């Protein structure tokens, strides 16, 4: 029986699309639902166009004991993936799905993690601090921003001339290359 993947995302959903594409022909897993806290997020359109259930929810539904958790229980995910999900993930869901929630972060944690450190904010900080490398971190989610156990990291070299946009391109490539493979490895264990 295929493992069931649920993805949470808040925006465009390029990482989500990459994971959907990777597992589209897989015998080991399938993306069964994409959830977003923004009803107009492009990620929901991406899921629907791939014939995957797509749901939007409010912050109140996310925090309610009988809101989003009930939907998640029905979906019975083997793994929950946060791919550009910008809200703090609620402890109520983490308790229901222990060690089943992972996040991809666009930096080498513990550097450039924490509240407000996402997307362009991270890449700008990396450039402002004249870092010579950056990368991605895939980690389990706990009750604190970006502090869960690290599963995987990949690095890329930076040039002194790199802009935040250049850094973003390099980091996105690492995300596309590694997120589906790391998920596949975890569900195969």
Is the distance from CB of 33 to CB of 2 less than 8 angstroms?
no
Out of 105, 121, 123, 139, pick the active-site residue: 105
Is the distance from CB of 24 to CB of 50 less than 8 angstroms?
yes
* Rg of the chain taking only CA atoms, in angstroms: 16
* SS3 label, residue 43: helix
Is the distance from CB of 35 to CB of 47 less than 8 angstroms?
no
Dihedral sign for Cα 103, 104, 105, 110, please: positive
Q: Is 121 a catalytic residue?
A: no
Report how far residue 179's alpha carbon sits from residue 57's, in angstroms, rounded to the nearest whole number: 24
State the catalytic residues: 105
């Amino acid at each position: 029986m295929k493992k069931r993947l649920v993805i949470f995302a808040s925006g465009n959903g390029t990482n989500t699309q990459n994971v959907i594409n990777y597992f589209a022909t897989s015998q080991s897993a399938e993306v069964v639902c994409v959830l977003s806290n923004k009803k107009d997020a492009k990620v929901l359109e991406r899921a629907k166009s791939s014939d995957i259930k797509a749901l939007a929810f409010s912050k109140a539904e996310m925090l309610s004991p009988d809101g989003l958790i009930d939907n998640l229980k029905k979906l019975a995910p083997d793994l929950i993936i946060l791919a550009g999900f910008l809200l703090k993930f609620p402890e109520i869901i983490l308790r229901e799905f222990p060690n089943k929630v992972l996040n991809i972060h666009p930096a080498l944690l513990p550097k450039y993690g924490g509240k407000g450190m996402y997307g362009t904010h991270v890449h700008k900080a990396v450039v402002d601090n004249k870092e010579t490398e950056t990368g991605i971190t895939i980690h389990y989610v706990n009750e604190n921003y970006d502090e869960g156990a690290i599963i995987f990291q990949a690095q890329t070299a930076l040039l002194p001339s790199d802009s935040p946009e250049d850094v973003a391109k390099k980091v996105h490539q690492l995300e596309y290359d590694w997120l589906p493979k790391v998920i596949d490895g975890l569900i195969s264990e």
